[in-house]
């Protein structure tokens, strides 16, 4: 089987006990390469890769040194390019919500659902309702709470891991250096004639202080307040 290529990424870094991240990138077209992030959760020696990114040989060796790659988890429908690699090469079980249309492979082993099983403890799945395709977020109940998201909520402390063209265009297409509701995601996922504001208000009922999105940079603290401001901005009444 032919897998997607490896794109530039940084070394894996620990952000909490048994929780790691890898900052990577992906080529969107001939001109733009943007950032993306993978979270790595370790439980009893087994690894779950959330928003998976395929790594270089050195990066993969570093990943395997952390534990056994047993699970991959897709939080959003527009991220799935590297899932087949970990399922095919490592026999990882694939966790995903049913009904996604953007990536049809691999076959789901464990369907994600509110209140359903997860491959590690001390976590809670949040599933958006009313979106055109299924999207969820994952709350890790570590410390003051760590929220893992895909495209719905993003944070940009800087534009590293993006090429020059992407760095130049990002502020002008709705991605300033701040916490935000993904504008492209919102356009694609909102129901026709409807709004997802109530879903983001429901998300804000969760307790968290750290945010790691599939794009951008880690927000170590103050995340809930930052997400609240992002939601207020995204759904402000037009003047």
Encode 18-82 in three state secondary structure: CEEEEEEEEECCCCCEEEEEEEEEEECCEEEEECCCCCCHHHHHHHHHHCEEEEEEECCCCCCCC
Give the CA distances from residue 128 to residues 76, 131, 203, 222, 239, in Å, rounded to whole numbers and listed in that order: 10, 7, 8, 22, 28
Has residue 33 been placed in a domain?
yes
Q: Which of 22-31, 39-48, 197-206, 230-239 has the lowest mean pLDDT?
A: 230-239
- How do residues 105-158 score in pLDDT, each as one tens digit? 899 999 999 999 999 999 999 999 999 999 999 999 999 999 999 999 999 999
Residue 101's pLDDT is 87
- How do residues 218-239 score in pLDDT, each as one tens digit? 999 999 999 999 999 999 864 3
Has residue 8 been placed in a domain?
no
- How do residues 72-89 score in pLDDT, each as one tens digit? 999 999 999 999 999 999
Has residue 239 been placed in a domain?
no
The residue among 227 and 103 whose pLDDT is bigger is 227
Has residue 172 been placed in a domain?
yes
Given a cut of 90, whether residue 104 has pLDDT beyond it is no
Q: For 13-34, what is the mean pLDDT?
A: 95
Residue 237's pLDDT is 64
Q: What is the CATH number of the domain that holds 129?
A: 3.60.15.10
Cβ within 8 Å of residue 194, ≥6 positions away: 130
**Contact assessment for residue 211 and residue 149, using Cβ atoms and an 8 Å cutoff:** yes
Range of the domain at 176: 13-234
Residue 230's pLDDT is 98
Given a cut of 60, whether residue 9 has pLDDT beyond it is yes
Residue 1's pLDDT is 78
Has residue 6 been placed in a domain?
no
Residue 112's pLDDT is 97
Has residue 132 been placed in a domain?
yes
Q: For 44-56, what is the mean pLDDT?
A: 98
Q: What is the mean pLDDT of the chain?
A: 96
The share of the chain scoring above pLDDT 70, in percent, equals 99
Task: Write down the residue that tokens 């048994």 correspond to.
Answer: 18
Residue 239's pLDDT is 39
Q: For 11-40, what is the mean pLDDT?
A: 95
Count: domains in the chain? 1
Has residue 3 been placed in a domain?
no
Has residue 2 been placed in a domain?
no
């Amino acid at each position: 089987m032919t897998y997607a290529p490896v794109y530039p990424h940084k070394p894996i870094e620990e952000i909490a006990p048994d929780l790691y991240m890898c900052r990577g990138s992906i080529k969107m077209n001939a001109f733009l390469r943007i950032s993306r992030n993978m979270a790595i959760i370790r439980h009893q020696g087994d690894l779950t890769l959330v928003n998976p990114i395929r790594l270089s040989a050195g990066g993969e060796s570093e990943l395997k040194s952390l534990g056994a790659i047993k699970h991959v988890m897709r939080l959003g429908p527009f991220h799935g390019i590297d899932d087949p690699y970990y399922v095919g090469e490592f026999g990882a079980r694939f966790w995903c919500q049913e009904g996604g249309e953007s990536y049809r492979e691999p076959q789901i082993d464990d369907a994600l659902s509110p209140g359903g099983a997860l491959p590690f403890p001390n976590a809670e799945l949040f599933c958006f309702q009313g979106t055109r395709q299924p999207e969820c977020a994952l709350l890790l109940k570590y410390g003051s709470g760590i929220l893992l998201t895909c495209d719905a909520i993003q944070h940009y402390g800087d534009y590293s891991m993006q090429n020059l063209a992407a760095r130049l265009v990002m502020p002008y297409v709705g991605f300033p250096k701040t916490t935000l509701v993904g504008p492209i995601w919102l356009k694609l996922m909102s129901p026709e004639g409807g709004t997802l504001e109530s879903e983001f208000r429901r998300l804000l009922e969760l307790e968290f202080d750290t945010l790691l999105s599939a794009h951008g940079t880690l927000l170590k603290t103050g995340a809930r307040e930052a997400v609240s401001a992002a939601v207020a901005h995204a759904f402000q009444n037009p003047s």
